[in-house]
Structure 1
Amino acid sequence: MAPQDNPAFPGFAKFIDSVVSARHEDFVRRGLAGTTSADDFSAMVESISNLYAGVEVTHSFVDENGQVFDCVPIESQPALRGSFRAPATPPDAPDAAGPRGTGQGTPVQPQLRSDRLDKFGHAMSCPPGTIAMRRVTLEELTRSGGVQNFHRKYPQGKGRHPRLSPPEEAASGIHKYAHAFQGVDNLGGHDFVNLWDPNVGSEIFSLSQHWYAGGSPLQTVECGSQVYPAKYGTTQPVLFIYWTADGYQNTGCYNLDCSAFVQTNGAWAIGGTLGPVSVSGGAQYELEMSYYLTGGNWWLYLGGTSASNAVGYYPGSLFNGGQLASNAQDIDYGGEVVNNVAWPPMGSGAFAESGWQFAAYQRNVYYFATDNTSQFAKLTGVQSSPNCFTIVVGNAPDPWNEYFFFGGPGGGSCT
């Protein structure tokens, strides 16, 4: 029996059949529907059916945390399907702002490699000309509370940017931050994100990310590492991307969950687990991340800034002639956690003052100026709940350059 024929494996055809035949009353009986009404449930079935309409899956596999990925032709992914346009050609990003010295942490490698096999014996990689789409299920949509909430950065409420709300709201709200920003016209930026796996239990999520933002209503492109068990079904960090064109009100989605991001590089699984993770007092792991706006597209780079490191792009047309169609006005980096009673740890769970090998960091922070040169950032740190989360910004010789440590243990008194 071929691995893909294993009856225990959730094949794509079986998955689609289960979606179109799903009944609200069955989900209610199994305790999976939550507060979702029959009408909302029908909308979720339609949403998933549309996401995969006309998709030809060439290969599927399960990652170590049980998430299923389907390999689809690049031209069949949601952002290109039916458009009859070829994906853009990946460019090189501008040269680094300074010399590229030996890194402090071990580089995190792409998740998808042909030498890795899942528990069914499937190669954890996709054939040439295809990319891995994380499978979106009805169970995930019902956990989020419906289609609209599913596409928001935080289900059951609007998303936030660290500088979108006044300080008093940032201190008292469900979103807590320790971040560092600079107001400057830019075409994106770069740094190395130190990878940890903060313990998120009943709380919502904990992440470390980049924001490039501008305009009113706010527009952003975002990327980073996120622990979000309710979405991904794992307590391990995953690679995520996000965008909004209207201050998180009605536009935006994670990863490839809607028709937005165009992925061109099959080596990375967006929404897939990242690892290994750093060890307190021991080995440190980091992922080099960049966005660069060129040719009208916001290109994402992982593991370097050459064309071969380009993962894909957000088309500038998503921003409808708004600020991010031409450039961003703000670079922002750091941590965010979400809950409404007690907050999860951020970063490693240690305060910024713990420093190297104990606190999480981002280093070698620079931005791409509007003349397509690279400039080291000059960041201002903000810690809205310093009894729970702190940040320390610094500057040192290469390979640190502009950097910061950040994080903290969280808890129930994060005012």
Structure 2
Amino acid sequence: MMKYNIVILLLWSFFAASVKLEAQAWSLSEVEIQAKLKLLNKPAVKTIKSKDGDIIDCVSIYKQPAFDHPTLKNHKIQKIPTFFQESQYSSEKHAFKENIEVVQTWQKSGNCPNGTVPIRRILKNDLLRAASLDHHFGLKPPPLFVNSTNTNFSESSSSFTVISENHSGVHIQSTSGSGYIGAQGDINTWNPKVQLAGDSTTAQMWLKSGNGFDFESIEAGWTVNPTLYGNNDTRLFSYWTKDSYKSTGCYDLTCSGFVQTSNVITLGAALIHVSTDSGPQTGFTVKIFLDELGHWWLNVANYNTSIVIGYWPVELFASLQHSASVVQWGGQVISSQLKHRTPHTKTEMGSGHLADGGYGHSCFINSLRVKDYSQMLKYPESTTVAAQEPNCYNFFNDVKDGQEPAFYFGGPGPSCV
């Protein structure tokens, strides 16, 4: 009987110890989560609760996440470059017939005072959706290098290596050269469907520089990314990486680096106006330009609205300190069910329609411009299109007499399987 009691006692001791260890592990995990939230979310001067569920913190411009970056400890916030007031940046004609300004949902609930920047608050559930607390929150998947056949619209064709993210399908119009110190494009805004957990879809512009598979990139446009943001809203986003998406950089302000200067636009916040099939077409112009000190400035505009959001400081980069060698415009779907995997994801690119639907049906980017050391904005001299899954998502370069080409792209996803 005594032996039986000893066995029972040992079993209970083992059970109690296991429960205690499990509780400690959960407690440690919770501590880590709270520490991460404290690091990401800076003290707010004012807090705005948006009708879409987002919480926007108005944070002192001097206490934003950017200055947690080790290279920016002594960084001085820069003044907006004068070139944004120059005529060539303010007199362009936009592609969208509807006179709709760039408006975000949270702006209907309040505004941030001068001297602050609006930052979308990161919540515990945002972190729990990430694959890893430290290595995946706010980051794109690790890189994959694929060869794609590309069509040059100057009536020649070539094949080159497209650098994209793992589980990623991109359909892009690209120009390569040297000495690009700026670029812009009018991006048509839609709200495509995202099917699978972990999937996302974008329409955007990239500026890249580097050697082969080792590149730096700065990006901006719109995205639907439920894993990162918690719902299927179309949101304005930015991104940067110094090492081909391996470990540096992030979306928006989810890590240190990007310096925000605007108190009216929130990176990662939902856009109110999106296009409708056979209905009004909306969008915005994304502009990224290099200043004399090597900082890359991000601007969004439409009609009478032109907002300088902030900049990627020169300290973040090596090859991008002086210029970009590649500019790309187009769409991207990130999913684990791409590249002929069955069943193929039903996550849509662009509007969800294939590119040949044309205006009012398919997503487009037009008014493509690059700027080099001639200091003039101009249409790229030669462009090349890369399509990784042309039967699932395709592209169409609409060329009409006397007009610049309009680049259409997108699709529903599973049509290639």
TM-score category by the smaller chain? 0.7 to 0.9
Mapped contact 2:52–2:106 kept (Cα < 8 A): no
Q: Assess if the C-alpha contact under 8 Å between 1:351 and 1:359 holds in 2.
A: yes
Aligned residue in 1 for 2:333: 337
Paired with 1:246 and 1:284, the residues of 2 have a C-alpha distance of 36
Contact 2:50–2:106, Cα closer than 8 Å, also in 1: no
Counterpart residue number, 1:166? 147
- Match of residue 111 from structure 1: 103
Structure 1 residue 42, shift from structure 2 partner: 4.4
Summarize the alignment of residues 32-43 of structure 1 with structure 2, pairs less than 5 Å apart. Answer: 42-43=31-32
Q: How does 1:284-299 map to 2 (within 5 A)?
A: 284-294=281-291, 295-299=293-297
In 2 relative to 1, CA 304–371 (structure 1 residues): closer, same or farther, beyond 3 Å?
farther
1:356 corresponds to: 359
Superposed CA offset, 1:249-272 (max 9, x none): 120111011111111011111100
SS in 1 for 2:286: strand
CA separation in 1, counterparts of 2:368 and 2:119?
30
Asked whether the 8 Å contact 1:210–1:332 carries over to 2, the reply is: yes
Shift in CA distance, 172/372, structure 1 to aligned 2, threshold 3 Å: closer
Partner of residue 68, structure 1: 55
- 2:232 matches 1:235: yes
1:12-411 to structure 2, matched below 5 A, reads 42-52=31-41, 55-80=42-67, 83=73, 85-91=75-81, 92-93=83-84, 96=88, 100-101=92-93, 103-106=95-98, 108-111=100-103, 116-117=108-109, 123=110, 125-145=111-131, 146-154=133-141, 158-159=142-143, 164-167=145-148, 174-185=167-178, 186-203=180-197, 204-216=199-211, 217-294=214-291, 295-303=293-301, 309-319=307-317, 322-341=318-337, 342-343=344-345, 344-377=347-380, 378-396=382-400, 401-411=404-414
Retained in 2: the 8 A contact 1:105–1:286? no
Matched position secondary structure for 1:270: coil
CA contact (8 A) 1:107 1:287 kept: no
Shift of 1:208: 0.3
Contact 1:348-1:360 within 8 A present in 2 as well = yes
Deviation at 1:128, TM superposition (A): 1.4
Distance 1:291 1:355, change over 3 A: same
The code of the aligned residue for 2:101 comes to Q
Deviations 1:106-155 (A, max 9, x none): 355343699722xxxxx2x211111111111222112112221113213x
More divergent stretch after superposition (145-154 vs 83-92): 83-92
Secondary structure of the residue aligned to 1:149 is coil
> Which has more radius of gyration?
2
- Partners of 1:358 and 1:409 lie apart in 2 by 12
Deviation of the 1:336 alpha carbon: 0.4
Hey, what's the Cα distance between the residues in 2 that align with 1:167 and 1:315? 33
Distance of 1:96 and 1:362 partners within structure 2: 19
| Structure 1 position 221, deviation (Å) | 0.2
Partner Cα distance (1:308, 1:352) in 2: 29
How far is the alpha carbon of 1:172 from its aligned partner?
12
Q: Please name the residue that 2:152 is paired with.
A: none
Query: How large is the RMSD of aligned CA atoms in angstroms?
Result: 3.1
In 1, Cα distance between equivalents of 2:208 and 2:45: 37
Tell me if structure 1 keeps the 8 A contact 2:176–2:325: yes
TM-score (norm 2): 0.79
> Higher mean Cα deviation, 94-103 or 259-268?
94-103
Q: TM-score, normalised by structure 1?
A: 0.79
Q: Deviations over 1:335-362 (max 9, x none)?
A: 0001122331101111111101000001
Segment drifting more, 40-49 vs 249-258: 40-49
Q: Which runs of 5+ in 1 are unaligned?
A: 1-24, 30-35, 118-122
Residues 114 and 207 (structure 1), Cα distance of their counterparts in 2 relative to 1, 3 Å cut: closer
Contact 1:327 1:370 in 2 (8 A): no
Q: CA deviation at 1:47?
A: 2.5
Residues 51 and 250 (structure 1 numbering): CA distance in 2 closer, same or farther, change over 3 Å? same
* Matched AA of 1:246: D
Percent identity for Structure 1 against Structure 2 = 25
More strand by share: 2
